[in-house]
Structure 1
Amino acid sequence: MKKRALLLAVAAATVTSAAFATPQTQWQEGQWQVDLGAWNTEASVNYDKLDGEGGDGTTNDKWNFTGGLTYGLNDKWAVQYNYYGLKTKGSSETDGLGTDGNAQEVNALYSINKNFAAYAGYNRIKNKFTSDDISESLTNNVAQIGIIGKAPLTDKLDVYGKAAIGTKNTTIWEAGLGYSITPDLDVSAGYRYVNTKFVDKGYYDAADDANISYKGFIAGLSYRFGADRDEAPAPQPAAPVYRPQPQPQAAPVVQQAPVRNDYYLESVHFGFDEDQPLSTEQSKLDHFVQVAKANPTHTFKLVGNTDSRGTDGYNNALSQRRVDNVAAYAQSQGVPASQLVLNYKGENDPVASNDSDQGRADNRRVDIWENK
């Protein structure tokens, strides 16, 4: 009965993670992400710290609904609401007592770079403990901070990890894999573990402070929509204007300036979702710098491109970052900005089919043209 009373007094608080499917580390202004998933949760507590009798009290696992909604404020900041069910089944170890509650949180997220994002927020946990003849609800409020990391294993497969700390002695980690079905639709699978304050020493005669853990397999699906994809308006034909015809005059003799043209020089290539050139492209960058410094009267057009994966808005921004980084390298080596003309085409100027890995690799590039 002592164990039963202590379980009834649980004041657990969990820190939830920043997304339920493959976690995003970058956002677009105006973009929404909807997350739906399930978490196969069990809860356990260490009785050694409760009554000195030893052993772990572990409930039986149960599938819980998870859901979330994220909105991109700009390319660095997003806001997010998440929901977790916290239901588990009673077991013989817990005298038939299970949990029946939920966690709701609001986070602000910040993109550090394409591989990492940080978040902070507020988490309200309602833990309801029930058996055939007992029901009691307890609510905890948790302040939390965390970090998200992910890296591509292939063009479509990511590995991700999340870690966080919060008040109520709370820690969390989650790790798993995410698979991109389309540029806007992901699925993921992983394992999630949360450890947080259970009771303070002396509460219901507890022998010491104690924590409780929630853990289990988690899977989910994410869908993104609504990003800004503004396109430049088509130029409108100018209204006809009447102008009187000038009287014929003798044409002055004008010295014609030599005609200058663009000549292809190099294509610098990039990895998937990368804005820094591949290490194998260093010789091309150095050749470009050498030619530019040897011809100070020539200008050089840098044109950024991507493959077809991702939204138009994201690919336009990615192609711009690629060009900016190539230009920044050239300037760091002594090429003046006045020699550089920057242009960005996103996915709209492929040189190969986007239906193959090699074709997509050929399209991830910055073309360099010399005007002379």
Structure 2
Amino acid sequence: MKKLLAALLVCAVTVVSAAAYEMKGAYYFGPYSGYKAFDDKSDLKNDVEAGLKLGYFITEHWAAELSGGYADAEYDSKSGSEDVFTPGLHAVYHFRPAMDRALLPFLQAGIEARIADDTDTGLAVGGGLKYLFTKNFGGDVSFKNIYFGEGKHDQLMAVSLAYFFGVKEKAAVKAAEPAPAAVAAAPVEEPAPMAAAVADEKKEAAAVVAAPVDSDGDGVYDDEDQCPGTPMGYSVNEKGCFKSMKLLINFANNSDVIDAAGMAKIQEFADFMKATPVLNVEIQGHTDSKGSDAYNQKLSEKRAKAVAAALVKQGVESGRITSKGYGETKPVASNDTVEGRAENRRIEAVAVDADGDKVKSQKPE
């Protein structure tokens, strides 16, 4: 256990990330396991505790976290063992160091119970180090002390893994390097026309043209981008405004049920729509060519409607969303290969005008 904790800590402090993660509104869940040290008065031997954690970031720094653990602890003074349950509720404060916004040292405090033959409830305080290896996957190492009163303490040193939803990512923009200082030349008396020409040449040599910057990575430079901040991977027009995006959702066979990974993608797009109130979209369903035309048409309509309903549930106004199924009529890859069919089974969100009958890019405010 100590080796595992040390390995995760080394990874957390040595991995360098260029991502700037925004945590407000994100939530996470995942398993944990650790070494549980019971108080001497509990008549229980130290053991391994395992459980689950579920958390939600209320702000960029503060999160609320539920946890539930279990240990099968042997008695200290007799044979046999005891089932021990440890539910808890904690407030967690995360520090956000500027050097790496994926690194989240934290402190926590809350209440935690130890349920065995009898129940003790105590104050839990501790801290640790959380790290996001990607915007959807992270882990932490932690230590906490649970004080039950009358001099009774339990401790837990643990390592956990977590899957994150709703984390927003901003690409880091490298600052332009300052222009080199101009070297002053000694004045030289020259005929007026020649002096003017030399002066013009000096001005041209001293002029520094800043390298074009594309902050949001959409292929349109900032000085021409009328819709800055478009997320990476979205298709835009020549003005940098949204045209369309693909949602590759792994629907089960003959099903329009959206899995957890698909819901995370839908939530990200819903956040973008809420931040872009002029945008109206048509949710388009597409299938591969396996099955009959009629079957594929109906299935694509069901899945498009399911994604549109999920966007509305995430807070997007229903009047801004329409849905339509296209069946197998618009493939983007060959249906003769497994990979091509997977690309063709997709949902696309396409910008439309206010009437919904003409596809075009949204206009900036």
TM-score range, shorter chain: 0.3 to 0.5
Higher helix share: 2
The structure with higher relative contact order (CA 8 Å, sep 6+) is 1
Return the TM-score normalized by structure 2: 0.39
Higher strand share: 1
